[in-house]
């Protein structure tokens, strides 16, 4: 699908509460997904609801999730309806009243029927995009998975046909009569930051921190 194709709301994805925060542009869905590192997969396994945190990546209108072939929750998702969520916390919104405290956030919720990938070429492409979503440049810098490692790795594919996106920005929305209260109000921004790279203890001398690792923390090598 094109980024110009709108998100068509369904009974499951229509934003009812605070509908003004719902986004209808597919580009907003891509932006939320592409900015994230961790998603949560909700699936019924052995008749019980389970939520699995896992790494993911996107190619076009397909979301790929990484797991182990020994993970029963991941395997239970094959051919079943699932729900995947990605959330970014952008700030704590402090209001003058407890009731109006909130968070600034970007979130996406995707529904669909998942499938376990059996084709090796698609699985390799999916694993590559998952690794690159976590650490851009890492796939080409590290050893590729061998046949045994591929056999131990499960990759789940989920179409991005049915999804909703909600975004909140800005300050608190206090009651008019509360603006004269002697209470601090405002927004405390939140962001994910990486620290200095810490070389492995078994790393041979002379191997410098590569540029793609330095880019994660703005150039701090830790040496």
CATH of domain 19-174+186-192: 2.30.110.10
Pairing between β-strand 38-45 and β-strand 102-113 as defined by DSSP bridges: unpaired
Q: What is d(CA 153, CA 67) in angstroms, rounded to the nearest whole number?
A: 6
pLDDT in tens, 183-201: 999 999 999 999 999 999 9
Residue 222 has pLDDT above 60, yes or no: no
Give strand pairing partners of 55: 38
The label of the residue with tokens 């998702």 reads: 77
Q: What share of the chain is helix, strand, coil (3-state, %, to 5)?
A: 25, 35, 40
pLDDT in tens, 29-53: 999 999 999 999 999 988 899 999 9
Residue 91 has pLDDT above 90, yes or no: yes
DSSP state of 91: E
**Predicted pLDDT at 217:** 81
In three-state secondary structure terms, 60 is coil
Average pLDDT, integer, range 199-220: 89
pTM comes to 0.89
With a CB cutoff of 8 Å and minimum separation 6, the contacts of 150 are 120, 123, 124
Q: What is d(CA 64, CA 84) in angstroms, rounded to the nearest whole number?
A: 11
In three-state secondary structure terms, 56 is strand
pLDDT-derived band at 10 (thresholds 50, 70, 90) equals confident
Residue 20 main-chain phi, psi, to 5 deg: -65, -15
Long-range CB contact pairs, 205-209, < 8 A, 24+: none
Mean pLDDT lowest for which of 18-22, 91-95, 100-104, 185-189? 18-22
pLDDT-derived band at 22 (thresholds 50, 70, 90) equals low
Can you give the residue ranges of every domain in the chain? Answer: 19-174+186-192, 194-223
Task: State percent of the chain over pLDDT 70.
Answer: 89
Residue 2 has pLDDT above 60, yes or no: no
């Amino acid at each position: 699908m094109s980024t110009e194709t709108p998100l068509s709301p369904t009974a499951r994805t229509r934003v009812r509460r605070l509908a003004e925060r719902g986004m209808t542009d597919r580009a907003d869905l891509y932006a939320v997904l592409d900015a994230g590192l961790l998603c949560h997969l909700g699936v019924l396994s052995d008749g019980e609801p389970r939520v699995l945190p896992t790494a993911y990546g996107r190619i076009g209108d397909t979301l790929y999730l990484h797991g182990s072939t020994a993970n029963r929750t991941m395997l239970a998702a094959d051919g079943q309806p699932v729900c995947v969520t990605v959330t970014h916390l952008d700030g704590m919104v402090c209001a003058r009243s407890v009731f109006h405290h909130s968070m600034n956030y970007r979130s996406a919720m995707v529904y669909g029927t998942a499938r376990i990938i059996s084709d090796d070429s698609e699985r390799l492409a999916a694993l590559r995009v998952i690794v690159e979503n976590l650490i851009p440049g890492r796939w080409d810098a590290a050893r590729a998975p061998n046949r045994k490692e591929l056999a131990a790795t499960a990759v789940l594919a989920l179409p991005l046909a049915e999804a909703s996106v909600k975004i909140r920005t800005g300050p608190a929305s206090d009651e008019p009569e509360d603006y004269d209260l002697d209470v601090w109000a405002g927004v405390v921004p939140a962001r994910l930051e990486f620290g200095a790279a810490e070389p492995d203890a078994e790393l041979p001398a002379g191997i410098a921190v590569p540029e793609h690792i330095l880019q994660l923390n703005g150039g701090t090598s830790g040496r």
